Chains A and B, each alone.
Chain A
Amino acid sequence: MSSLLQTIEVNKQFGGLSAVTALNMDVQPGEIVGLIGPNGAGKTTSFNLITGVYKPTSGKVMFDGKDITGMKPHAITHLGVARTFQNIRLFKEMSVLENVLVAQHMRMGTNLLEATLRLPSYMKKERHVHERARALLDEVGLSAHEGNKATSLPYGKQRRLEIARALATEPKLLFLDEPAAGMNPQESVELMDFILKIRDQFKLTIVLIEHHMQVVMGVCKRMYVLDYGVTIAHGTPEEIQKNPKVIEAYLGVE
């Protein structure tokens, strides 16, 4: 099977700092892949490089057979890549429902005229995206909050809203940056089930950054370990847990 995502020797430097060095990731359709490593290892930066937020200093990013290196984030999203953010980035002044609706704007394919004149063609699409948005909110258990301001939600629910919003862009590939952060152990377990469920339901491929080992080990078939921007290991959870380099750099000696 051909890879859905491939990064080829991707590098990123900030001034003198090498945040990511020679990243070679390969993700097959339907997989759930983990990305772990100490703070500042370059995990979030890797996400940013793939989703177009940063431009790689060198290297190539291939998605679904296309070279997407240096494309604008919205164009990459258009191709079917979605993400959540480590430091939550919701649309603060907008309602929970609107947050999800925005994410569908791109897929609506309306023009300004039909949207402001509310032509029947637009109203049909509008009804459709509302239905979908509500379904997604239902999925993440936020239906009751749809009219509230996004920032009024508690932390854990904000995270779920971020996921719902990302799903609304109809991605093939989903990047989750520390989705379990701020969730208690019980919620984390539920999150594992949720991730597996959406993968099947939406036919997703998922790449996951997570410090919560229980979650990562539980859902990922394969994982990459970064340290100082360098990929120090990759393999199955079992292999990773035993890898001495990983234990030294990240997991710590038990």
Chain B
Amino acid sequence: MDLQTFLQQFVNALSLGSLYALIAIGYTMVYGILRLINFAHGDVFMIGGYLAFYGVSTFLMPWWLAVCLAIVVTTVFGVGLERVAYRPLRDSPRISIMISAIGASFLIENLAIVLFDARPKAFPVSNLFAGNHVIGGVHIAAVSLIIPVVTAVLLAVLLWIVHRTKTGMAMRAVSTDIDAARLMAIDVNRIVSITFAIGSALAAIGGILWALKYPRLEPLMGIMPGLKCFIAAVVGGIGSIAGAVLGGLLLGLIELMTIAVLPELTGYKDAFAFVLLIMVLLVKPTGLLGKNQGEKV
């Protein structure tokens, strides 16, 4: 592989990886606090994309307004989802909550099929993001430049919220010990709602950026990205925000660089994420940056 091809592949991988990272953060926040694999996260992501689409193409809003509204509505949707599908099960066995998440995911997908139609829609990409840059023979789409920046900014904002604000402190408290958090007069439901709000907003942003990069919407578009980003979060160490970013980048790199180096494996690309996952888990069962929580006997 010549240097230019390598650089091109590397840029491709970083661009995909930072998108994975962005979505994985939302996953990891929700999981970190509730220990819930939110299988519906990918569907919330899909809703974000569609809302922005309808904002621009049906209601003819300017794109920035459509994006903001889409994020807000998706956030409300995510908070509502937690209320309806997860809160009643907070003290139930894990499998019940997970089934509820799967059920919610099915419901959202099927509703989307009925409401939005199963046929893919083309996402209207504003000219602002449609450009393309060539730097030293390496082609970089404008969105691919924006995504890592957005991811980095959001990462900083999140780290600030979680580590520097009172609410963030409460989130960390809830995630270690719900009952002890209650004893601190923390309104656990509110904190969980806020977490879901942040997670859903991130999903919406992820969905919109995804649609800008791959301008096609369909009701089932969230399933695979959702699963892969969850894997990214697990690989990085679930519950760790930095881990999610690391996992996302790593996944993007592995997926694309493996193909770059071994083109005959392209057909197996969908399996790379899982192979990475299993290898990491076997070596470090709690993920790269995860903390060990053994059971005291």
User: Which A residues lie at the B interface, using CB under 8 A?
Assistant: 44, 48, 53-54, 85
B262 at the A interface (CB under 8 A): no
User: What residues make up the interface of B, taking CB atoms closer than 8 Å to A?
Assistant: 297
Closest 5 CB pairs of A and B: A53-B297, A48-B297, A44-B297, A85-B297, A54-B297
In the complex, chain A residues whose CB is within 8 Å of the CB of B297:
44, 48, 53-54, 85
- A54–B295 Cα distance when bound, in Å, is 11
**Can you give 5 contacting A-B residue pairs, CB < 8 Å?**
A44-B297, A48-B297, A53-B297, A54-B297, A85-B297
Determine how close the nearest CB of chain A comes to the CB of B248; give it in whole angstroms: 29
Specify which chain B residues have a CB less than 8 angstroms from the CB of A53 in the assembled complex: 297
Bound form: Cα–Cα A48–B297 in Å = 8
Closest residue of chain B to A48, judged by CB? Answer: B297
The smallest beta-carbon distance between A15 and chain B, in angstroms, is 10
Give the distance in Å from the alpha carbon of A85 to the alpha carbon of B297 in the complex: 8
- A54: B residues at CB distance < 8 A: 297
CB closest residue in chain A, given B292: A15
Q: How far is the CA of A206 from the CA of B49 in the complex (A)?
A: 67
Q: Provide the residues of chain B in CB contact with A85, threshold 8 Å.
A: 297
* Interchain nearest-CB distance for B159 vs A (Å): 25
Give B95 Cβ to nearest chain A Cβ, in Å.
14
The distance in angstroms between the C-alpha atoms of A216 and B297, with both chains bound, is: 23
- Nearest CB in chain B to that of A15: its residue: B292
Nearest Cβ on chain B to A241's Cβ, whole angstroms: 30
CB proximity of A225 to chain B, nearest CB, Å: 22
Cα–Cα distance between A54 and B296 once the two chains are bound (Å): 10
CA distance A23 to B297 in the complex (A): 19
Chain B, Cβ-Cβ closest to A86: B297
Chain B residues near A48 (CB-CB < 8 A):
297
Distance of A154 Cα from B125 Cα, bound (Å)? 67
Q: How far is the CA of A46 from the CA of B297 in the complex (A)?
A: 11
Compute how far the CA of A54 lies from the CA of B297 in the bound complex, rounded to whole angstroms: 9
